[in-house]
Amino acid sequence: MRDWENLRYFLAVARQGTVLGAANQLGVSHSTVLRRIEQFEKALGSKLFKKLQRGYELTLAGEELYQNAQAIEGNIDHVLALAEGRDDVTEGKLRISQPEIGIINVYPLYAEFRRQHPEITLEVHSTMQADNINQQEVDIVIRISESPPELLAGRCLGKVKGKAYANRKYLDTLPADATPADYDWIVWQMTATANLKYLQSLNIANPKVVMYAGSMPDVVSAIHHGMGAGFLSTQQAQLHKNLVALFDGQTLAEYSIWILTHRDLRNSERVRTFMRFMAENLILD
């Protein structure tokens, strides 16, 4: 039986034009892509690519296969999704994509879920990028969104509030007459523009930014260890008793948190069990 996964690898290389590009798209190693293509060519008895200095180019056999494969790719994905969506067993792996640690605190719930359902293994991806649930990269996404894609099914778990915080010890090092305009500020690169606009709206025309952090865990650590003030979700800030809410606890923004799955997976027992548990137990504010 020929492996449908090998056809996925073939299509990725054909579209990207390089093995590295295909590896990045599929989330696998360079060597894995090469091995899959070699296996596929051996199984078919045909050379599918010509290796050039600039990358990989389809042979005549490869071009013909590419045209035919594109026509059936969507149908195969749909059939596989339907089959997985009708899985009526609880045990197995559940692949979850969630926001970076530091936005919402879900691990206490994961721990309780595993105690209740030891037969389910969790594969967790913490990222602000949109893992492609339509391509079956993950089974469930927990996402900040105001308008979830139409092909996904799920529910809003509530809202996360964002406020400005600083370590109490950091504030104690400042002069008695210091104002937020004198603070050192920690800014998450993803929300830097919104953060700076917010500060400017409070008449802090030129906030002193001492760190542009590439990830939310970096922001949390920097504020927690007294590098300066910054913006956190209230749920995350509650984990650190040394943090003080600034601007009289004024809310900067509110973000809706959704838990979503593909419509074809909504009847999967694993998916339904996890989504129901999260909806019943997650408390955001």
CATH number at residue 206: 3.40.190.10
pLDDT digits (tens, 9 = 90+) for 102-155: 888 899 999 999 999 999 999 998 887 765 565 567 899 998 888 777 778 888
Give strand pairing partners of 161. 254
The encoded tokens of residue 200 equal 């400017």
124, 160, 122: which is closest to 238 by C-alpha? 160
Query: What is the DSSP code (8-state) at residue 250?
Result: -
Within this chain, do residues 44 and 117 fall inside the same structural domain, yes or no? no
Q: Decide if 92 contacts 121 (C-beta within 8 A).
A: yes
Q: Where does the pLDDT of residue 5 fall: very low under 50, low under 70, confident under 90, or very high at 90 and above?
A: confident
Domain C-terminal end among 85, 119, 138: 85
Global confidence as pTM: 0.62
Q: Specify if 156 maps to a domain.
A: no
Residue 218 is assigned to a structural domain of this protein = yes
- pLDDT per residue as tens digits for the range 184-239: 999 999 889 988 999 999 889 899 999 999 999 999 999 999 999 999 999 899 88
Closest by Cα among 109, 145, 144 to 124: 109
Question: How far is the C-alpha of 35 from the C-alpha of 257, rounded, in Å?
Answer: 40
d(CA 54, CA 62): 18
Same domain, 186 and 143: no
Could you tell me the CATH number of the domain that includes residue 75?
Answer: 1.10.10.10
Question: Does 119 map to a domain?
Answer: yes
Same structural domain, 273 and 209 = no
Does 170 lie in the same domain as 45?
A: no
- Domain containing 127 equals 92-151+258-281
